[in-house]
Structure 1
Amino acid sequence: MFSITEEAEVYVADLFEQQDEKDLGLKVDVEKAGTPVATVTFNFCIKSDLPDTYNEFPFVGFSAFIDESNNQFLSDS
């Protein structure tokens, strides 16, 4: 459903390695979803702070979290 290139995975994992907080994740959101000006945002997050509607996608060195309401907009991305 959601994939990143190997190069991006290594880059993002390196960013996580530089952080002091070990419970960090990558929160992926879609702003103005379904419109021509939709934007995907990426932010550090604490997994335990996220609502239950966020699904976890594990990668090497980090996990991405995507709200299930955005699944349709990120499918095959």
Structure 2
Amino acid sequence: MEIDVTIKLKHGVADPEGENTKKALNLLGFKNVRSVKTMKTFRIGVEPEKENEEKVKQEVKEMCRKLLANPVIHDYAIKVVKNHKS
């Protein structure tokens, strides 16, 4: 089973990398670009155990809380992208 975890900055948190990218795109002539937001996606492969999908999602949420995301500044989304039946 593979899970995508997308981490993004919460609304109101400064995104200097996104802002600098937007400015650079505008300078390159892409004047219609209004905003750029940076995000990070992790694709996590988990062993195809007998656990159900909800239990796996709960485990991935724990990964986010403990390591992948800073709850003060980040929001995250979890999505199952591949679920191979064994």
- Could you say which TM-score interval applies, normalised by the shorter chain? under 0.3
**Larger of the two Rg values belongs to structure:** 2
- When you count strand as a share of all residues, which structure comes out higher? 1
TM-score normalized by structure 2? Answer: 0.24
The one of the two structures with greater contact order (alpha-carbon pairs below 8 A, sep at least 6) is 2
TM-score normalized by structure 1? Answer: 0.25
